[in-house]
Structure 1
């Protein structure tokens, strides 16, 4: 499915429906008004027709209107109102027809039709065949009274011109109402998005109830997925804990073997085994730490100072300045042990490559804390940044160390919803930027 905004879809659909509805209303109202005007015209023609019948008189061999009809248009040539009487003995017509003749039709009952006028114009005509009384000579006569239909059509056009602005205003009002309806209707989705963000940042534990009936099933599915995920995480933690504890006995046995080698004069082999065991123990301790309760907060400056105090004792730090400029009021959403592991992994690498100083800085950025660990060492070639973050990769392959430090740090950062960035300092050296949440994440 194409990623089109739901609000835009609803807006376009609403616009189409509003336009179609107003179009139907326009056609219907126009037709209704035209029908109403035509009925009024037919009523007027009926009045003239009755006046004409009431004043019939004998004139020569035929019949005609005994007196002029009340509307002066019958007396004005091509005045727009016409009458005509056809009998077997002859024809009589209004002065307004002049030398023109009207179509009389063939039906016997009253009918209203459109016919052509004396100048070819469109006329609305009422025609009917009547039986003449004996006083008028008897027999049958067809009587036609007609009026110019231009006034009827003009009234319809004027109505359309008057109606269009109101329809336009109505469309704008309906569009505004539709926009408001879409906004209010989609607010639960915005609230859903906000709650999911709170879940990700640890501000909420579950989606909960109280959602509209259309959204509640989705919220329930998300909560069920979170429950399942937490259960799987707990099982994985138990398996990792069992594995880490299971490795401790073989490691202890290796230390015993190293002691026997040392006692037998094989000191180099013993030191190699001890170094290997130390690395493996660090990884085991890290995995055990991950399986314990992992929620809590830490005083960032205090933990960082503890890390620097430990690293100050290593040989590489004897000639270095280790400076901690982190403010005292910053709290990070990591347990102290995990934060120390994170800072230790990065700072240890900085101490190993620094020439004269290692600097720790931090500042709050919104709901996150940005920690920067800088050194003045050789820096990092651009083509080695991604490789350095891979598990076990090292910048200096000839030096000591397992290469797990940065990869472990990246693992902690990813699990806590943070970010790790590497960049070279303008004056030389490497800058590692850690972005961590202030609040708890799940």
Structure 2
């Protein structure tokens, strides 16, 4: 449930990013602090190395010698963590703190020599403790002799580690408090950022209640494309409703008058004493009226079933042709059916049957000897074409049919109501109906969206 909430997704993602950033910041600050402490420690070791170097005293008539070591509590206490060692030629002098431990001797300065003869080392000291050490190479001249002087000053790394741990102990509470502040700020930011969604919800509610016709352009830039798509969907739905009303009007126009005439004839027959025949006619007319009412209701209802509906043109065309071949007029015609394999149309099978049936019935009424039906793929569409060898239709009627809202039953030509219904079905399915005179005959093409055949 939480993962379906945009707010919680953003809070969790932001919280994770904040925690990661704080962890990386803590590690980076600890590393910087350690390097800073180490630089301070190295600077202290350099100062102590200068003091230790003063223990070497040149002699005017002989080699240099060590003077008396001054007392220093840091270097007097055994294993105190502060150590020094001087190597002058073959002579070695150590601080008392080293006790019986000595740093490894060096026969000669390293080659190449480090800058200023100094380098920082990591050594192991008494009691196997890690040390931070500074090695300093000098050359002492006295009495015509030159002797190499090696000074090592070291301190226990435990002090540096303790300083780093103390720094982290002081830093972590502040990082935790900073994290809480950042999470609170992130929550406020998310709340402010998602506030426009409430506006969308309110406007959609207004749409449902009829207070608004469209969402409109007064939306944040990031959600404006969504609002535009919703408005476009509403426009398409309005067009669908208008076509449904046209269809309802066509059906009422086609069946209302004949049904009234039948009911009138039934009353006349009943007045003449033909009650049985009148009752039979009234039953048939009543059944037809119920069917018409059902069709009118279906035409007025908007349905989403066309979104996922898929029809097989080969099956539909085969059924329509099989039915019409049983009629007297259809049995006398030569039916030529050519449907490419593997076709599927994005339309409800019942609507496709109604459309192909209406086109085929019109073709039967006007054909002389032959009707050709074909179905082919046309890019993202498929085209179902019916062609008869009849007289065709006036060009003016074909032009009017291509106009929005035009109906051939009002034009006075011979193709009747069926083509107008087919045009509405094609438009509702995202396709189109195209007509042209084929000389001889009329060629009608039903162009529909293609679909993957299941």
Same fold, TM-score > 0.5, yes or no: yes
Q: In the aligned structure 2, how far is the partner of 1:273 from the partner of 1:133?
A: 140
* Structure 1 partner of 2:66: 64
Following TM superposition, by how much is the alpha carbon of 1:98 offset from its aligned partner in structure 2, in angstroms? 2.3
Q: In the aligned structure 1, how far is the partner of 2:58 from the partner of 2:100?
A: 21
2:241 to 233, 236, 240: 233
Q: In the aligned structure 2, how far is the partner of 1:285 from the partner of 1:116?
A: 101
Question: Counterpart of 2:221 in 1: which secondary structure?
Answer: coil
Question: Counterpart of 2:146 in 1: which secondary structure?
Answer: coil
Q: Work out whether residues 251 and 296 of structure 2, in 8 Å CA contact, stay in contact via their aligned partners in 1.
A: no
Q: In the aligned structure 1, how far is the partner of 2:192 from the partner of 2:142?
A: 80
Q: Work out whether residues 85 and 103 of structure 2, in 8 Å CA contact, stay in contact via their aligned partners in 1.
A: yes
Q: In the aligned structure 2, how far is the partner of 1:113 from the partner of 1:219?
A: 68
Question: Counterpart of 1:128 in 2: which secondary structure?
Answer: strand
Q: In the aligned structure 1, how far is the partner of 2:65 from the partner of 2:267?
A: 146
Q: CA RMSD in A?
A: 3.2
Q: In the aligned structure 2, how far is the partner of 1:9 from the partner of 1:3?
A: 6
Which ranges of structure 1 fall in alignment gaps of 5 or more residues? 293-442
**Structure 1 residue 44 corresponds to structure 2 residue 37:** no
* Structure 1 partner of 2:26: 26
Following TM superposition, by how much is the alpha carbon of 1:19 offset from its aligned partner in structure 2, in angstroms? 2.3
Q: In the aligned structure 2, how far is the partner of 1:212 from the partner of 1:275?
A: 61
1:242 to 237, 250, 254: 250
* Structure 2 partner of 1:423: none
* Structure 2 partner of 1:17: 17
Cα-to-partner distance string for 1:379-408 (whole Å, 9 max, x where unaligned): xxxxxxxxxxxxxxxxxxxxxxxxxxxxxx
**Structure 1 residue 182 corresponds to structure 2 residue 184:** no
Following TM superposition, by how much is the alpha carbon of 1:265 offset from its aligned partner in structure 2, in angstroms? 0.8
Question: Counterpart of 2:232 in 1: which secondary structure?
Answer: helix
* Structure 1 partner of 2:220: 212
Following TM superposition, by how much is the alpha carbon of 1:260 offset from its aligned partner in structure 2, in angstroms? 2.2
Question: Counterpart of 1:139 in 2: which secondary structure?
Answer: strand
1:153 to 153, 161, 178: 161
Q: Work out whether residues 61 and 89 of structure 1, in 8 Å CA contact, stay in contact via their aligned partners in 2.
A: no
Following TM superposition, by how much is the alpha carbon of 1:154 offset from its aligned partner in structure 2, in angstroms? 0.7
For structure 1, which segment, 33-42 or 11-20, has the greater mean C-alpha deviation from structure 2 after superposition?
11-20
1:360-375, aligned counterparts within 5 Å? none
Q: TM-score, normalised by structure 1?
A: 0.58
Q: In the aligned structure 1, how far is the partner of 2:293 from the partner of 2:151?
A: 115
**Structure 1 residue 86 corresponds to structure 2 residue 120:** no
**Structure 1 residue 117 corresponds to structure 2 residue 119:** no
For structure 1, which segment, 35-44 or 268-277, has the greater mean C-alpha deviation from structure 2 after superposition?
268-277
Following TM superposition, by how much is the alpha carbon of 1:253 offset from its aligned partner in structure 2, in angstroms? 1.1
Q: Work out whether residues 64 and 85 of structure 1, in 8 Å CA contact, stay in contact via their aligned partners in 2.
A: no
Following TM superposition, by how much is the alpha carbon of 1:204 offset from its aligned partner in structure 2, in angstroms? 1.9
Question: Counterpart of 1:234 in 2: which secondary structure?
Answer: helix
Question: Counterpart of 1:138 in 2: which secondary structure?
Answer: strand
The 3 A distance-change label for structure 1 pair 73 and 282 is same
Q: Work out whether residues 130 and 140 of structure 1, in 8 Å CA contact, stay in contact via their aligned partners in 2.
A: yes
**Structure 1 residue 96 corresponds to structure 2 residue 104:** no
* Structure 1 partner of 2:35: 35
2:269 to 257, 261, 282: 261
Q: In the aligned structure 2, how far is the partner of 1:261 from the partner of 1:15?
A: 86
* Structure 2 partner of 1:200: 208
Cα-to-partner distance string for 1:230-279 (whole Å, 9 max, x where unaligned): 01211210220231133221122113211321232123543565577578
Following TM superposition, by how much is the alpha carbon of 1:287 offset from its aligned partner in structure 2, in angstroms? 8.7
For structure 1, which segment, 247-256 or 280-289, has the greater mean C-alpha deviation from structure 2 after superposition?
280-289
How many residues are matched? 290
Q: Work out whether residues 127 and 145 of structure 1, in 8 Å CA contact, stay in contact via their aligned partners in 2.
A: yes
Q: In the aligned structure 1, how far is the partner of 2:41 from the partner of 2:144?
A: 29
Q: TM-score, normalised by structure 2?
A: 0.57
Q: Work out whether residues 58 and 141 of structure 2, in 8 Å CA contact, stay in contact via their aligned partners in 1.
A: no
Q: In the aligned structure 1, how far is the partner of 2:54 from the partner of 2:196?
A: 75
The 3 A distance-change label for structure 1 pair 127 and 224 is same
Question: Counterpart of 1:210 in 2: which secondary structure?
Answer: coil
The 3 A distance-change label for structure 1 pair 136 and 276 is farther
